[in-house]
Amino acid sequence: MAVVVIKRCGVGLCHRLCGITGRHWFPRLQHTDRQYIETQFGFERVSESEKREKVQQVFDNVAQKYDIMNDLMTLGIHRLWKERLLRLMKPYPGTQLLDVAGGTGDIAFLFLDYIHSQREAQMHRDLKSWQNLSWLEISKSYQETGQDLLGGSHAVICDINPKMMTFGKKKAQQLGYTEGLSWVVGNAEELPFVDEKFDIYTVGFGIRNMAHIKQALQEAYRVLKPGGRFLCLEFSQVNNPLISRIYDLYSFQVIPVLGEVIAGDWKSYQYLVESIRLFPAQEEFKAMIEDAGFMKVNYHNLTSGIAAIHSGFKL
């Protein structure tokens, strides 16, 4: 069976399958490039498997207080950034969204709100244009609108951390988002989705936690339809020296303290701050997106570059 597996899916698969059984059928791949095995966890250098575990631990720890901490740390600005992302995305009824690392559902909820408002506007326009309707037509129009308020739109949320998703799901229930939403536990570096299935791929404050950003970008490219759009909201490099000084002070002196006081967890927030500093700056990340095959790649700085939205198309 092992030989068959090699033939079908290549060595990478065997390597990963070994993880399932806990047995190593084949010698582990020796990458000549040591960078591949070692990676960065904040300012610490760790092995890749360790990074996965450690990141998981961070998000297990912060899951419960994630939303309140986001509001406190960014003074609510993260909500404006996410709204900006939606204004750039401009989804229409029927758009299929994949939100990666979207555990607590923020982007997907905004997406559904946006689709709703688009759909309502559409219905309003239709209503205006229909001046003389028969009863039959009226009843038919009611049936149609009742059936599908989202116009076939669907948001799939994929996150590697089940705990974050459990909180997201609870939130969805509380806020009344029941239709057009699915939750899948999955790894952004090997997405469990069909090729060319989604119109939009979003990842909000998630990509810097991934061990192989390049692989995640390639997977994004794979699951997008031709014409589909990649959108990434992530912390970036501040371009104003004065703000940069204040931001550094705030990041390293205030955020871990907030983490300790609110969530009782200094280390996790220390990691979050460090990981932000290590993430590639705007131009470098743009080049990485282009390397994955995306076209018309550009970015928008938010709040002097504290965060940035990168966008690219699969053409």
Partner 1 sequence: MLGLAACRIGAAATRGLLHTAPRRAAADPPDPANSKKRFNPELLQFLVCPLSHKPLRYEESTNELINEELGIAYPIIDGMPNMIPQDARMIQKEKKQEESEENQH
Q: Is 3 in the site for partner 1 (CB under 8 A)?
A: no
Q: Is 190 in the site for partner 1 (CB under 8 A)?
A: yes
Q: Is 65 in the site for partner 1 (CB under 8 A)?
A: no
231 CB-near residues (< 8 Å, 6+ apart): 85, 88, 89, 200, 201, 202, 203, 309, 310, 311
CA 102 to CA 82: how far, in whole Å?
12
CA 233 to CA 282: how far, in whole Å?
11
Answer for which of 79, 163, 277, 300 binds partner 1 (CB under 8 A) is: 79
Among 57-65, 73-81, 128-136, 293-301, which window interacts with partner 1 (CB under 8 A)? Answer: 73-81
CA 284 to CA 287: how far, in whole Å?
5
Q: Is 304 in the site for partner 1 (CB under 8 A)?
A: yes
Tokens, residue 90: 């401009």
Q: Is 151 in the site for partner 1 (CB under 8 A)?
A: no
The sign of the dihedral angle between the CA atoms of 88, 94, 96, 99 is positive
Residue with tokens 């998981």: 56
Per rule CB under 8 A, count of chain residues that contact partner 1: 52
Strand 198-204 versus strand 224-235 pairing type = parallel
Q: Which amino acid is located at 301 in the chain?
A: N
Query: Do 230 and 206 form a contact (C-beta atoms < 8 A)?
Result: no
Q: Is 193 in the site for partner 1 (CB under 8 A)?
A: yes
Among 25-33, 34-42, 121-129, 169-177, which window interacts with partner 1 (CB under 8 A)? Answer: 169-177
Among 121-129, 133-141, 185-193, 270-278, which window interacts with partner 1 (CB under 8 A)? Answer: 185-193
Residue with tokens 């506007």: 121
Q: Is 127 in the site for partner 1 (CB under 8 A)?
A: no
Comparing CB distances to partner 1, the nearer of 193 and 271 is: 193
Q: Is 77 in the site for partner 1 (CB under 8 A)?
A: yes
Q: Smallest distance from the beta carbon of 284 to partner 1, in angstroms?
A: 25
Q: How far is CA 194 from CA 69, 102, 221, 273, 312, in A?
A: 35, 19, 12, 34, 20
Among 154-162, 224-232, 263-271, 275-283, which window interacts with partner 1 (CB under 8 A)? Answer: 154-162
Binding residues among 224-263 for partner 1 as defined by CB under 8 A? 240, 242-243
Q: Is 315 in the site for partner 1 (CB under 8 A)?
A: no
CA 232 to CA 77: how far, in whole Å?
17
Among 29-37, 161-169, 204-212, 278-286, which window interacts with partner 1 (CB under 8 A)? Answer: 161-169
Q: Is 188 annotated as a binding residue?
A: yes
Q: Is 159 annotated as a binding residue?
A: yes
Q: Is 176 in the site for partner 1 (CB under 8 A)?
A: yes
H or E stretch covering 210: none
CA 58 to CA 85: how far, in whole Å?
25
Q: List, as residue ranges, the binding site for S-adenosyl-L-methionine.
A: 104, 159, 187-188
Q: Which residues bind partner 1 (CB under 8 A)?
A: 1, 5, 8-9, 13, 16-17, 19-21, 71, 74-77, 79-80, 109, 113, 116, 149, 156, 160, 162, 165-166, 169, 173-179, 182-187, 190-195, 197, 240, 242-243, 303-304
